[in-house]
Structures are given as structure tokens and as C-alpha cells.
Amino acid sequence: MSAPLPQAVRQARHELVALLRESDPDAADRVERVVAERSAVPSVVVVGETKRGKSSLVNSLLAMPGLSPVDAGVATSTYLVFEHDEQWRAQACYAGLPPVEFDIAELPSWTSAQHELPAGQLPPRFVEVAGPVPLLARLSLVDTPGVGGLDSMHGELAKQAVAGATALLFTVDASSPLTAGELAFLREAGERVETVVFALTKTDGFRGWRQVLADNRALLATHAPRFAHAPWYPCSPRMFELAGGAPNEQAATVLRQQSGIAELQAALQDLVVGRSVMLTEADETAGRAGGGAAVVHPWLAGAGARGDPAGTDRERARRQPADAGRAVVVPPGHRLGGPGHAGRAAGAGGRGAATRVRPAVR
């Protein structure tokens, strides 16, 4: 029986670095240092047209309703990068300037065009938010600006972010099929990312969502055939959030199960974390075959010491143990999605997440 693909790629990497070491030991050492400095957490860039439910979906995946501003007019060029940490923290990041830390309760002031920036501050390149969310121990989420549409400057920024990501989570809603702008974006993005997952949101509000899903598949087969067989996850962030106000735990459990969020959380880990192991090995192999040069996407130039939100330092990952047993500390002004929700929502992001998992609609 042949070895699994990630293992085969890893073996090829070791063989190539051995050959490189024979001809250029210094180059081999440099590549080893680059690999050792890489982060262990892959990145998922969430992209979608405005009003398609993108930020609501991010909040549901994090089990933190209201964390990422929803329908608030996200400021131009501002990404929201969500990462794991033991305590909640937030900072505005700039190209060539030190980050500015701020209280997480001030997040709307830094990311929403409907709020004024704090006095004396410049618009950030991106905003980084970190906290004890178990899903983030295994992957980072990047919420891209959706205002203006994917055929605008925001679409160009989203394409740049996708170029440095492990995977693209493309968000559309059940109100209508994919637009020409969305299909055009997918055709271009297909050249920049290996893994694409689709989320069909607002299924609770549109009875005809199955027909919209079928129409979307047909459109992809015609206009972006590479994604014709990509997995789709129908979901309802609204139902997930309603679980927080359910009258009892039984009702909250039903709402969470019917929301489809747990299935998407589990899929992101299985598809993204697992796939990134293979991509990491392939990237390292390519670096060695090319004489040890580090692979850096052009758009990262000038991004500062920390890099941009979906930079190559977040492209790679190896599977990490789920952090499902750890309590989620809620930041000021936010709440979890229901009684006893911390454990369940966090668990939904872990390997043993959902007890009743509906398969992806393929």
C-alpha cells in the first residue's frame, strides 16, 4: 500500500534537502531555519460580497456573536485577523510601524466606517484580535472587507489575502445565485489557493435555498469548473445566534444542530488543517529544490515585522490537539451563544465536535 500523500511529500522533502546539503550545506541550513520559524497554524480567508452574511458567519464559527462588526461598513483596507491566545487582546497593525494595542471593546472604532478612529490614530492595514477560542488554536480566520463588492478595490485586497492563505471560505447567501462578479473573483482566486469551501448562509430565511444551491453548482460548472465539485455547507448563523436566547438547553441544542455551523467548523479542520500539512511539505520541497530561497508573496512587501493577515507565515500547519476542554473567556461586551454553549461551541470546533453531523452538500 502506498504512503499517504502528505507522508510521501514529506519523504521527498527529506530526500531533496539531503541532496541540497551535499552541494550547498549553507543553503540547506538557511532553509531549515526558515522552516523552523514558521507558524503552526493555517489560515482561512473568509470572502463574500457585502450583505451576504460573511461577518455573521465568522462570529458563529468563533461562537462569539457580535465580535466581528456586522453590516457596519467595514473600513477600507481593514482586515480582521482572529488568532488564539490565552487572554483577549487586540491591536491595530501597520506597514512599517509598530502595532497599537487597544481594548477589545473599542473594536468597532478601529474597523467600522460608522465610527471615528481614536484621536490621533491612522487607519490600520489590518486589525488582529486574539482570544481563548478553541477553533483558533487550530486555524486562524481572516475576515476580509466586503464593502464595495468583489469587483472593486476590496475585491483586489481579498485576492491578495487569498494568495497567502491555506484555504478560501467563500460565502454566499440563499437569496440568489452567484453573481457575475462572484464568479469572476472565483476564476482569479482559483489560481492562488488550493482549497476552497463554500458556505451558503441564510438558509432559514429562504425556502428555495436548495434550488439556489443547484443553480450555484451549475454556474460553477460552466464559469469556474475547477470548483464544480467543491463542498457546500448550507448554514444559518442567525439560528446559531438564537440559541443564545433559547428558553432551555434542549431548544438551544436543536437550534445549534439545525444551524449547520458545527458541520462547517469540523470541515474546516478536516480539510484545512489536514491539507495544510501536505501543502507545507510541498512548499518546503519547492524551497529546497529552488536552492533554499524562501517563498514570499509579492503583496507582503512592506508589511512590517509581523506581516499581513494572510501572509505566508500562516500558510502552513501541522495538526494540533483540539483545545475543546478549555473554557472560553468572553471579552467585554460580548456573550456566548447560549446556556452551556462554551463547551459545545468550542467542542464543535474540535475533532469530536458534533454528535449529529450532516454531511456537506456536494
Summarised one tens digit per residue, pLDDT across range 143-190 is 887 644 555 556 666 666 676 778 889 999 999 999 998 898 888 877
Q: What is the mean pLDDT of the chain?
A: 74
Cell of 249: 438547553
Rounded mean pLDDT, 342-357: 38
Question: Averaging pLDDT over each range in 72-81, 84-93, 269-278, 294-303, which range is the top one?
Answer: 84-93
Comparing C-alpha atoms, which of 141, 24, 93 is closest to residue 304? 93
Q: Could you identify the residue written with the cell 464568479?
A: 183
Question: Averaging pLDDT over each range in 35-39, 217-221, 347-351, which range is the top one?
Answer: 217-221
What does the alpha-carbon distance between residue 58 and residue 141 come to, in Å, rounded to a whole number? 8
Across 292-328, b (16+ Cβ under 10 Å) vs e yields beeeebebbeebeebbbbbbbbbbbbebeebbbebeb
In this prediction, residue 344 carries a pLDDT of 37
pLDDT band at 47 (very low <50, low <70, confident <90, very high): confident
Percent of the chain at pLDDT exceeding 70? 62
In this prediction, residue 261 carries a pLDDT of 96
How far are the Cα atoms of 206, 260, 362 from residue 199, in angstroms, in the given order?
A: 15, 10, 12
Among 36-50, 65-79, 129-143, 250-264, the minimum mean pLDDT is found in 65-79
What does the alpha-carbon distance between residue 112 and residue 100 come to, in Å, rounded to a whole number? 17
Summarised one tens digit per residue, pLDDT across range 69-126 is 765 455 545 788 999 999 999 999 998 999 999 999 998 888 877 778 888 899 888 8
Rounded mean pLDDT, 266-273: 86
Strand pairing category for 140-143 and 100-102: unpaired
Answer with the residue of higher pLDDT: 262 or 3: 262
Q: Domains, the chain, ranges and CATH?
A: 43-275+319-348 (3.40.50.300)
Q: In a 3-state reduction of DSSP, which class is residue 61?
A: helix
In this prediction, residue 115 carries a pLDDT of 78
Strand pairing category for 195-201 and 232-234: parallel
Answer with the residue of higher pLDDT: 89 or 303: 89
